[in-house]
Chains A and B, each alone.
Chain A
Amino acid sequence: MTLMISEMEIERNQLPAECLRLVEAGYRLLTMVGTDEREEIGHYVLRYYFANDRASNVTLLTVKMPANDPTYPSVTAVMPAADWYEREVYDLLGIEPLSHPNLHPLVLHGQRLAVYPLRRDYPVDQSLPEVVREVEEPNLADGQFIVPVGPIHAGIIEPGHFRFLVEGERIESLTAQLFYTHRGIEKSAEGMQVEEAMALVEQTCGVCSVSHALAYAHAIEALANMTIPVQAKWTRTLLGELERLYNHVGDVGNLCAGIGFSFGTMQAGRLKEQLQQLNDDVTGHRYLRGAVVVGGVSKAISMALLERIRMAVSSVLQELGEVASVILSHEIVCDRFASAGILERAVVERFGAVGPAARASGVERDVRVNFPYDGYGDLEFSVPTFQAGDVMARLQQRIAEVNETGKLIETIIKNLTVFVTKTNQTLVTPLRPLLEGSYTIGMSESARGENVHFVMVGKHQTIRRLRIRSASYANWPIVPFAVLGNVIPDFPLINKSFELCYACCDR
């Protein structure tokens, strides 16, 4: 499958009007990438990728800016989804969005520096000066308080700093400071061979390794215009579904942990562990790393293993059904989950949210359906959608999706059985030469939603620019909307119901 991308180059002053036109035509922002192409064409370039889910097409707006004046009119006012992208590009590349409503540093904490690490003349191993934090004096009305939480949290979770503005118990507003785990993966990938960089891409996130690897592989394979062997296609689809399965089963337990319902936590923890041991048997890695490579997969799954997967998955699903029925019929659980953290459909549309969060608010958005990849084009499946948009809907959405995944895995295993009996199996298509300066995006659906990887190729099959947009990056800006009006003790629950990674958002 190759994405159909229609490209359009526009002048920078046309940008807001063009974005508005696309948004009104039913498009949403997929990703925005800034590149430093001063060496080649003397310009900085911004690329806005838009997707139309119903028509399954992608539109690219390209804007060039001269090296001596890297500024452009901000589009955040007309398209709020662009907020983070514009701030990130300013932090890392120094391309300034003019009249941006809130141009605080995003990725690089502390005071704004005059050095831009993603510019190509910035050495890979050079450090930046240490962060100096300034705490702003909050402007509070009578009876209002600020409750700061993090960045290091009480449990074993990732770092993020949250400031709740509360009046009594009610949350009036939430400011989330993320990007604590910004590791500069994109800079480190620059100059690496495209095949080598796969290991780095998998480390973007611990629990979305397969989907990140798939999105990256799709981009490279589209650039090289190659098709992968059919067996590899189905193996990839199977791995993707195994990843979704263990994540969703784990999420059911994490949601129960959010209200201290230890029955659910422990039961789901036990089931997740079974699935991870299955992952270990299948790929030799509990998080399925190292299985997806550029051009195919690294190893075939034997008949015995396919049978083991089928047995394990069906027994886990049966048990999960029992556990879920206990959870969903428990009075306290229902009381806490129902109508907590409601995410309005309008917010989802405005910010272009993805994944289970969007699907629990009535927006049917799934890369597997809208832009089918690998085996999904040949599979029949439904994407469960719920309307309520609360924590309960997000839980039910996951449980329903897990059952779909179970059916998908059955079918995929049937399709794979044909191949395992053959003796000479081809699993990898050798990489064809890539054209220097060519670029495209690759997509995949992780357990959290849509991943979009932008890859631009440099000399000798190396990466010139990699931009990873994970599902969490698209969904984090909507979390503050879902917690408004709730009480602080419900925040861990609401946060867990989105189950966003910090690492793959921060990179």
Chain B
Amino acid sequence: MWNLVRKRLQTAVVTRSAVELFDQSASFGADRQSPLDDLLMRFNRLAVTSFGGAVHVRHVDAGSCNACEWELNAILNPVYDISRMRIDFVASPRHADLLTVTGGVTRNLLEALRKTYEATAFPKAIVAIGGCAIGEGLLRKNYAQEGGIAPFVPIHVKVPGCPPRPKDIMEGLLLAMERLNNEVEHNGS
């Protein structure tokens, strides 16, 4: 027990600040006038006002190679620590505001993708993660997979890469929050 506490105390904080993670050209938070660190404040405020305190994400693997999954896992590690942006991954689509989808939709997973999309409550946004999901992957349509999620569910944000880096995925999620918020403000929900 004391070893555990000692190791914890000896370990320096490794979490990267927003300044380190996102450069000036980050495509979200376009209306901001303050420095990047305020970005966190901005999204925290957005999460509180528009998402009831926290943004819940459900992940669907629609036939990826597992690299995108590990990068999604990486954004939960202490270096990227997406929880500080009030984003959390949840166990049911019923709890989710956003869906992240990876992979080019295999024949065996098409039903699962459709059902998860249907089970997610409106308003919802879909973040397509990785080349396979956005339809620009190396693997083209064949007997076993479709080569992109676009024909089956709408895509709100595309995060390209094979796999995209963790900070790109974070940027994609923040962008989706912003989109969803704008959509709700315009159309009501």
Contacts and interface: CB of A to CB of B under 8 A. Distances in A.
A binds B: yes
B97 interface: no
B136 interface: no
A489 B95 CA distance: 23
A179 B107 CA distance: 10
B65 A326 contact: no
Contact of A159 (B65, B72, B91, B109): B109
Given A183-B106, A205-B65, A276 B74 contact: yes
B112 A159 contact: yes
B68 A183 contact: no
Interface stretch (B2-10, B23-31, B45-53, B179-187): B2-10
Interface in B128-180: 138-146, 162-163, 165
Given A128-B143, A187-B144, A263 B8 contact: yes
B118 to A, nearest CB: 13
Nearest to A272: B77
B139 A180 contact: no
B43 interface: no
B63 A181 contact: yes
A158 B77 contact: no
Contact of B163 (A122, A205, A287): A287
A57 to B, nearest CB: 33
B108 A503 contact: no
Contacts of A187: 142-144
A206 B11 contact: no
Given A122-B143, A125-B142, A187-B143, A109 B108 contact: yes
A95 to B, nearest CB: 17
A181 B61 contact: yes
Residues of A in contact with B, size category: 35 or more
A187 B139 CA distance: 10
Contacts of A267: 7, 11
Contacts of B112: 151-152, 159, 180
Contacts of A273: 14, 74, 77-79
B61 to A, nearest CB: 5
A146 interface: no
A273 to B, nearest CB: 5
Interface string A486-507: 0000000000000001111000
B139 A200 contact: yes
A270 B14 CA distance: 8
A43 interface: no
Contacts of A287: 67, 70, 163
B79 A270 contact: yes
A322 interface: yes
B17 interface: no
A502 B91 contact: no
A323 B139 CA distance: 40
B69 A158 contact: yes
26 contacts: A109-B107, A125-B141, A127-B143, A131-B107, A152-B116, A156-B69, A159-B109, A181-B64, A181-B108, A182-B63, A183-B65, A184-B142, A184-B144, A187-B143, A188-B139, A199-B138, A206-B68, A207-B66, A209-B67, A270-B11, A270-B77, A273-B78, A326-B3, A326-B7, A329-B3, A330-B1
